[in-house]
Amino acid sequence: MAYRPYPWFWSDQFDVKLQIAGLNVGFNRTVTRLGNRPGSESTWYFKDEKLLAVDAINDGRTFLIAKNS
């Protein structure tokens, strides 16, 4: 199987850092997790059992895990 890079993005909006790994297109299930700090959370997008993307708000650790998955 050939290497296929996945996109990743980030945006700082005042006191909110949004970080996105992958593309949330074609998903059929989401899981939302609260982060360890107040105001942090992430949404994980799956197609069946395959992880497609993660949107992380003020949750850099989750973003790095998703980006490297």
Judge whether 25 lies within some domain: yes
Q: Is 61 within the bounds of a domain?
A: yes
Q: Is 30 within a domain?
A: yes
Residue 3 included in any domain: no
Per the structure, the count of domains in the chain is 1
Q: What is the domain range of residue 45?
A: 8-67
Note the pLDDT of residue 62. 87
Quote the tokens at residue 68: 């490297």
CATH of the domain at 16: 3.30.390.30
Instruction: Tell me if 66 sits within 8 A of 51, measured CB to CB.
Output: yes
Which pTM value belongs to this model? Answer: 0.85
64 is written with which tokens? 């790095």
Question: Is 52 domain-assigned?
Answer: yes
Residue 20: inside a domain: yes
Indicate whether 22 belongs to any domain: yes
Q: What pLDDT was estimated at residue 67?
A: 80
pLDDT at 2: 67
Q: What is the pLDDT along the chain (69 residues), one digit of tens a residue?
A: 666 678 989 999 999 999 999 999 999 999 999 998 899 999 999 999 999 999 999 998 888 888 877
